[in-house]
Amino acid sequence: MRAMGSDPIAVLTPSELWRSSAGNRPSAGLGRAKLTTMSAEVLILVLVVVTALGFDFTNGFHDTGNAMATSIATGALKPKVAVALSAVLNLVGAFLSVEVAATITKDVLTIQGPNGDLVPGLSPEAAMIIIFAGLVGGILWNLLTWLLGLPSSSSHALFGGLIGAGIAGAATVNWAGIVGKIIVPAVLSPVIAGVVAAVGTWLVYRLTRAVHAKHREAGFRWGQIGTASLVSLAHGTGDAQKTMGVIALALIAHGTLTGDQILAEGLPIWIIVSCGAAIALGTYLGGWRIIRTLGKGLVEIESPQGLAAEASSAAIILTSSSMGMALSTTHVATGSILGSGVGRPGAQVRWGIAGRMVTAWLITMPAAGVVGALCFFLAHGIGGLAGAITVFVLLLAAAALMYLRSRRQKIDHHNVNAEWDGSLAPNAAAQGATA
C-alpha cells in the first residue's frame, strides 16, 4: 500500500492484508493480534459494502414511481415496460456524474483530516460501524414506507441514518454541509417543482384547448415517454451516486481511499458499476405500492399533466445533481405531481394523502437517525465483527417480516392502475373494472 496522501492507494484484498500483517510482526503473539484485527476490519468493510448495495437496491424500487408513476397511470407506458425502461436509464445515469458522491464523502460526516488520516479519537473499525449503522437505519425506513405506500425520501433516510449513527459514535457531523446541501434544497425543491409544474400544466391546457381531448391525450402520451425517461436518467445520476459516496466513505474510513483521490481521479470504476447495477435491479422489480400512491392516489392525472410534472422534475433534479446537491427525487416528483393537479382546472387533488406524505417527510431523518443510533450502540456494545453481524442478521429478519406483511395486500403490475377507492390495496371490484 502506498503512503496516505494525494497519491492513489490500492484497495487491499484480505489475503494481501494478511501477508502485510505477517511480514511486519515483531513477535508471534503480537502478530496474531494484529492479523486478527486487520482481517476483522476487512470483513466489516465487506459487510458495509454489501449493506450499501442493499440500500441502493431498496432505493431503486422505492423511487421507481418518481419517474414512472404518471406514465403508468395515464397508460403512456405499460407497467412492466415502464420499470424496465427506468432500470436501464438508471444504470446509464449512474455513469454521468460523481458530484453528489463527493458531497456524501465530505458534507455529511467528517471522518478524515486534512492530512488524510482519520480524525483524532476515531478508529477505522468505529468509523465503519458508524457508516454501517447509518445504512441499516436508511434501509429499514425505506422498507417501512414502501410497505405503507408512502413516497418518502430514500436520500433523507440515508442521511438521517448516518447522522444518528455519527452522533452516537461521537463522529463529527458537518451541520453546515447538511443544512446547505440537504435541508435547504429539501424545503425549496418541492415548492419550486410544484410551481413550475402548475404553470406548465396550465399553459399546456391553455394552448391545446382547441384540440379534441382524445387526440390531446394520445399526443401527450408519446411525449410522456420522453419526459419519464429523462426523469429516470436524472434519478440514476443523483441517487446512485449517494450509495457510491457511502462506499467511498467506508473505504476512506478503512484507509484505502482518500477524499483528495476522489476529487482528482474520480471514483473507482467497480463502485460505479456495482451501484448502478444495484439501483437498476431494484428499479426493475418495481415499487408498485408507491407507484400506486403517486399515480392513482395523489391526483387524478391526464397525460398533459404527466408530461408537465415529469419535465419539471427532470429539469430540477439534473440541475441539482450538476451542483452537487443531494436532492430528494421523491420531494421533487411529488411536488411536481401536486402542481400538475393545481394547474389543471377541475382536477381532483387529494390533500389528505399529501398531508400524510409531508408528515413522513418531516420525520424521515429523525426516525432513520434514531434507528441508526440504536444500531450503532448495539453493534459497538457487542463489539467488532460479531456486533456488525448481529445487526446485519436483525436487518435481514426485519426485511423478511415486512416483505411477508406486504404479501397480505399484494400490489403488482396487474392491479397498480386499479381505480383509487381510498385505500392502498384495491378491492376486487376496482381490480375487475381495471382488467
Question: pLDDT tens digits for the chain (435 residues)?
Answer: 333 333 333 444 444 433 443 444 444 454 554 545 568 888 999 999 999 999 999 999 888 888 898 899 988 899 999 999 999 999 998 887 666 666 666 667 777 666 656 777 778 888 899 999 999 999 999 999 999 998 888 888 998 999 999 898 877 788 877 887 778 888 888 899 999 999 999 998 888 888 887 888 888 889 899 888 988 888 887 777 788 888 988 888 887 877 677 777 778 889 989 999 999 999 998 789 999 998 888 888 888 888 888 888 888 877 776 666 667 888 888 999 999 998 887 778 888 888 998 899 899 999 999 999 999 999 999 988 899 999 999 999 999 999 999 999 899 988 999 888 878 877 754 555 454
Task: Tell me the longest C-alpha to C-alpha distance in the chain.
Answer: 88
Domains of the chain, residue spans: 76-434
Q: What is the pLDDT of residue 84?
A: 94
Q: What is the pLDDT of residue 86?
A: 92
Q: What is the pLDDT of residue 324?
A: 61
pTM here is: 0.83
Q: What is the pLDDT of residue 94?
A: 83
Q: What is the pLDDT of residue 170?
A: 76
Q: What is the pLDDT of residue 323?
A: 67
